[in-house]
Amino acid sequence: MSWGRLAGEPTVEGEIERPRREVKPGERFRGQIAMVTGAGRGFGKLIALALAREGADVIVHYNKSREQAEQTAEEIRNMGRRATTVKADITKWSEVKAAVDKVWKEFGPIDVLINNAGDVAWGQMSWREITEEKIDEVLAVDIKGTLFMIHEVGSRMLERKSGVIVNVCSNVIVTGSPRAPQYAASKYGVLGLTKSYALAFAPWVRVNAAAPGYMDTESLRARPDWTPERRKWVVDHTPLRRIGKPEDIVPVILFLASDDSIHMTGNVVICDGGFSMPGA
């Protein structure tokens, strides 16, 4: 039995050949347009800047952080790349549709979508503090918002038979979250959306997810429950013995967004230093 096709052998009927883009080192996204949600600050900003450094023109999405989004876009323009900002409350389908239409017509078709915007329920320190309002807030952003973005951008990508979508998930899909159960539920939802749209958009649009664990950010350090003792416990239970930094995760996002992962779709890459590894 032959498990592979020899060079020059005819393509099996129905098989899709996906040519790899020829790019120079450091230019994986040259000639492409990328959109990053929640890119005015934090992790989203780092992703947007990294895409630009690799040659992408970037759409910086924001909802409330207009000044910060404009600053991100200006930094990208200073690299010699095109950049624009677009506002949308991703929990409202009408705003997502309008934003994507505007971008598509005025800036160009989106080749790469990074769904970074999310609600991690930072203000909730225990499952005992859960309320219906807090549940609705997290599920609306993480599930509805991610779905609307995938649906609107991905369907247009599918029409062009080209595109890549990366969703930011979390290692709570393995560990759960006793602090905020609705957050874990929302990230399970993101994983479900990733797999569902990977199938729906195949073979032309790839959809994958990255699942970071604890990231050493201002938001994490500001949490009342992030005590020195808690940090030590997390480090002690992480095989790599450190809290990851956002800069550690950005390369994983770029890997999934580029042709480096050309034969991956419907996957989730957990990047938490081994914290969620069985037996850790």
**Beta partners for residue 163, in sequence order:** 205
E strands present in the chain: 33-36, 57-62, 83-87, 112-115, 163-168, 205-212, 268-271
Of these residues, 183, 188, 197, 214, which one is catalytic?
Answer: 183
**Structure tokens of 245?**
């930094």
Residue among 230, 254, 253, 224 nearest 243 (CA): 230
Task: Take residue 7 and report the two structure tokens written for it.
Answer: 């060079």
Tell whether omega for the bond before 203 is within 30 degrees of 0, i.e. cis.
Answer: yes
Question: Does the annotation count 188 as an active-site position?
Answer: no
User: How do 268-271 and 112-115 pair as beta strands?
Assistant: unpaired
Active site residues: 183
